[in-house]
């Protein structure tokens, strides 16, 4: 038995038009899986499908807002009709907003609560709702894997990104909670885990880490490197091995964990 078999898996990726979700889609497709991407805008889904189609024809995509239960349910019905099952859900839709981040010359008292709530909505409820809608289909087969995306900001205070941190801390808890609930009530075929990427240059953090004019690391970027024993930012592709492991029977007895992929950042005290 190939513990890492992907060939027969139907893998759904929310935020599949984004940086991390998009590259996971490329990797999983290249390794034989059927991949379905969801994203909330037509043009994002179409341009992602254009490039993914060049890798494999086992790809599909739907416009779907992860914050709208009705939109998720409609897409779930279409997917089941066409593909019969969902083996894996990767909740990669997520992000941050300027007002939920404390500016360089600001304090926590300047935080915009509306933005804070929106960030919690997207990162937390944008994972809870898909987990519940697509999870129901997995339960029918007594089999399925849910993978959430946590962050380095979940377990200790990374300055400035207060709203984002709160949302990702809640993701860690929800991962443990859902994994426990599903295994207890529906058996060991249902597993829920998370990955916690360290620092990867992405759309949401590029301006915080790289100076737009000079291309050099910002002070924050340099501080991160100093606190990362491997002394560099991550490459998106470095998430793939752990994602592959969590999607497959290789992690059959693994549920409720949050795996850091961070070059040692979370292990290091900084001293």
- Residues noted as catalytic: 164
What is the number of residues in the chain?
A: 271
Q: For ligand NAD, which is the closer residue by CB, 142 or 173?
A: 173
Inter-CA distances, 82 with 57, 132, 226, 253, Å: 14, 20, 49, 30
Shortest CB 150 distance to ligand NAD, Å: 7
| 6 closest CA partner among 194, 189, 254, 247 | 247
Shortest CB 191 distance to ligand NAD, Å: 20
Report the C-alpha gap between 118 and 153 in whole angstroms.
17
Shortest CB 162 distance to ligand NAD, Å: 14
Q: For ligand NAD, which is the closer residue by CB, 34 or 167?
A: 167
Residue of closest CB approach to ligand NAD? 18
Return residues touching ligand NAD (CB under 6 A).
14-15, 17-21, 39-40, 44, 65-67, 92-95, 122-123, 126, 149, 151, 197, 199-200, 202-205
Q: For ligand NAD, which is the closer residue by CB, 94 or 163?
A: 94
Shortest CB 15 distance to ligand NAD, Å: 3
Q: For ligand NAD, which is the closer residue by CB, 140 or 232?
A: 232
Q: What share of the chain is helix, strand, coil (3-state, %, to 5)?
A: 45, 15, 35
Helix residue spans in the chain (DSSP H) = 19-30, 42-53, 69-83, 113-120, 126-140, 162-186, 206-209, 219-226, 240-247
Shortest CB 108 distance to ligand NAD, Å: 21
Report the C-alpha gap between 195 and 208 in whole angstroms.
22
Two tokens, residue 110? 């300047």
| 85 closest CA partner among 8, 28, 23, 193 | 8
User: With contact defined as beta carbons under 8 Å apart, do 242 and 20 qualify?
Assistant: no
Q: For ligand NAD, which is the closer residue by CB, 144 or 198?
A: 198
């Amino acid at each position: 038995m190939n513990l890492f078999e992907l060939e027969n898996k139907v893998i759904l990726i929310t935020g599949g038009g984004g940086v991390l979700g998009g590259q996971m889609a490329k990797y999983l497709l290249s390794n034989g899986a059927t991949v379905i991407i969801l994203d909330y805008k037509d043009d994002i889904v179409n341009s992602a499908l254009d490039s993914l189609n060049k890798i494999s024809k086992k790809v599909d995509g739907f416009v779907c807002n992860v914050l709208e239960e009705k939109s998720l349910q409609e897409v779930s019905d279409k997917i089941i009709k066409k593909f019969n099952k969902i083996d894996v859900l990767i909740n990669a839709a997520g992000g941050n907003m300027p007002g939920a981040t404390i500016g360089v010359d600001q304090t926590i008292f300047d935080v915009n609560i509306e933005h804070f709530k929106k960030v919690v909505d997207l990162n937390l409820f944008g994972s809870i709702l898909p987990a519940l809608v697509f999870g129901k289909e997995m339960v029918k087969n007594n089999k399925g894997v849910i993978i959430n995306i946590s962050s380095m900001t979940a377990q200790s205070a990374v300055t400035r990104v207060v709203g984002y941190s709160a949302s990702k801390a809640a993701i860690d808890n929800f991962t443990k909670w859902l994994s426990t609930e599903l295994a207890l009530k529906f058996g060991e075929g249902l597993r829920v885990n998370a990955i916690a990427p360290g620092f990867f240059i992405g759309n949401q953090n590029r301006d915080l880490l790289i100076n737009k004019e000079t291309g050099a690391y910002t002070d924050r970027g340099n501080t991160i490197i100093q606190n990362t024993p491997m002394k560099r930012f991550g490459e998106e592709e470095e998430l793939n091995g752990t994602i592959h492991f969590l999607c497959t029977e290789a992690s059959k007895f693994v549920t409720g964990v949050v795996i850091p992929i961070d070059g040692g950042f979370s292990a290091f005290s900084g001293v």
